[in-house]
Chains A and B, each alone.
Chain A
């Protein structure tokens, strides 16, 4: 296992189009997180899963955003009707649950540019 993988690394899309990102966590990690990071800022929490259950969504996650983790392994983050304000780095992270979050590992992110 080489860590958390995200695909694609870069995505350029026209405003109004839908985009989907994928995250493959470390295999034994049961928690998976999505963050958004804009230039010069720290990552902002979007949502997290424990296994296949989505346990919390940030208020930042508007109705245009949806995330899934159907089998408790990989996760997808979809943005519908993209807006220029959605341009950011979307980071995925995974960890062990149960208070053992020291194995908290980020992927390299997907850079989204909405033109």
Chain B
């Protein structure tokens, strides 16, 4: 069964600290993996997208890594800010048909950044 599991479920850190969120998936075949940030009551916003051939991708203070062999990905947030408080969702596309209807969504990690 295609699944995406994220850990931890929730995380509290102090402003300025770094953190790493984990994503394990069993989706096969695999096309690409995306990390989204979702603020409460808002739509998801794309942070990074990686194909199976990419190992790392950065977007400002966000750096995502991908190990397609172990089917693991991580999202590292550097120098956290209060505005980073949100849910971070790992999403895997199981096909390369260019159709997003089959995206497999994780349940997200809820991050709270405290002053």
Q: Are B100 and A108 in contact, with the CB atoms below 8 A?
A: no
Nearest-Cβ distance from residue A37 to partner chain B, whole angstroms: 9
Check if A82 is an interface residue, CB within 8 A of chain B: no
- A6–B91 Cα distance when bound, in Å, is 22
Nearest-Cβ distance from residue B99 to partner chain A, whole angstroms: 7
Size of A's binding interface in residues, CB under 8 A: 29
Residue numbers in B under 8 Å from A6 (CB-CB)? 43
Number of A-B contacts (CB under 8 A): 57
Q: Are A91 and B43 in contact, with the CB atoms below 8 A?
A: yes
- A114–B101 Cα distance when bound, in Å, is 26
Check if B89 is an interface residue, CB within 8 A of chain A: yes
- A30–B105 Cα distance when bound, in Å, is 23
Q: Are A40 and B45 in contact, with the CB atoms below 8 A?
A: no
- Selecting from A14-22, A42-50, A62-70, A72-80, the interface stretch reads A42-50
Tell me the chain B residues, 65-86 only, with Cβ under 8 Å from chain A: none
